[in-house]
Amino acid sequence: MSELELICSGCGIGIQTEDKTAAGYAPLNSVVEREYPVCQRCYRIKHYNEVAPVALNNEGFQKILSDIGKRNALVVKVVDLFDFAGSWVKDIKKYVGQNPILLVANKADLLPRSTNWERVENWLSYEVKKQGVEVEQVFLVSAKKRVEIEHVKAAIEAKVGTRDVYVVGTANVGKSTLINGLLQLFGEEDGAELTTSRYPGTTLSTIRIDLPNHEGSIIDTPGIMTRHRLTDLVSPKGVRDITPEEYINPKTYQLNDKQSLFLGGLARVDYVEGPKQGFTVYCANQLNVHRTKLENADELYDKHLGTLLTPPYEGEENPLLHKLYAHSFTIKSGHPQDIVISGIGWITLRGQHFTTVKVHAPKGVDVHIRRALI
């Protein structure tokens, strides 16, 4: 029996039993007569937190999104509040057409406990308006901790009618985790559970699940893969080191000019010119931040990349992570500003002084300045 007409209930891929190296593989005895079969990859993610890389076809994912615009649908667009710009789907209107959008900003549980949430919501509305997109409502949630998702459920119920609900976003923003939580709230207790993990590209195809007591379905779509976030480039071990799992504890470093901060071995911030001031770093608590003199920074990087400065690690041969490219910024006095390095976090400057900063990151990684989030 080489082919089974079965779909993995975890990631949506068609299950096959012959090629162990290909997507969708599962041993025959593990899937026959199972109501909710899962592929071996999903099984190992769920039970061992291991992920096997698979070839992902972004063009296919984009076609799935484009088809939404041809349907009468309700769109739930999920973004990562920790990496808003990095997780924003460009040309979202091209994909979803005139369908209404609910914007869910996930991972709110990662921001510091002292966060002013009204300010964050205003900031988010401002950033969305800059993208030229109109949304019906904005929600700040933690899908993982099931915080505030009941408000998303209520909005879906109020607007869905007989339509299907499409959950869209870039890879690793928490779409599947959100859907699992919503299904529990909708009363789906015995159905399949979507596979979730911290690794990009877990969902491999669309997964349609009937909404209890509603005519339509909720549909998990594969995350659009990107190449401009550090989480797209590092190894699975590196993803663990740069992905926050709990409240961020900001670290403030009082720097004189001609000093540098390394964020692991993945990014470097040089304070080129300006008076002594605080650089507040928002990144995963487990990531090592190292301060040094600017004159010593190049030598430190060459000698200690993969040992003192990690990730990346010794023995990892990804050439994209072994050279950093510079981005220069002049920050004027005024409102606080964030220097964002997509996929790893940001550094806040209070905007009290005229400041020159140079940021080094791997080629292609998005680095930009924005109005401060916090």
Domains, in order of start, for the chain: 3-48 (no CATH), 58-226 (3.40.50.300), 236-371 (no CATH)
Q: Angle formed by the axes of helices 149-159 and 175-186, to 10°?
A: 70
Question: Could you give the CA distance from residue 174 to residue 181 in angstroms, rounded to a whole number?
Answer: 11
In this structure, are residues 294 and 260 in contact, taking their beta carbons and an 8 Å threshold?
Answer: yes
- Average pLDDT value for residue range 152-163: 93
State yes or no: cis peptide before 319, omega within 30 of 0.
Answer: no
Question: Could you give the CA distance from residue 280 to residue 256 in angstroms, rounded to a whole number?
Answer: 14
pLDDT in tens, 40-50: 888 877 776 66
pLDDT at 209 over 90: no
pLDDT at 243 over 70: yes
Question: Could you give the CA distance from residue 260 to residue 268 in angstroms, rounded to a whole number?
Answer: 7
In the block, which residue shows the tokens 């509603």?
Answer: 214
In this structure, are residues 305 and 265 in contact, taking their beta carbons and an 8 Å threshold?
Answer: yes
In this structure, are residues 325 and 355 in contact, taking their beta carbons and an 8 Å threshold?
Answer: no
229 CB contacts (<8 Å, ≥6 apart)? 83, 86, 87, 342, 343, 365, 366
Q: How many CB atoms lie within 10 A of CB 25?
A: 19
Rounded to the nearest integer, the mean pLDDT of the chain is 88
pLDDT at 1 over 50: no
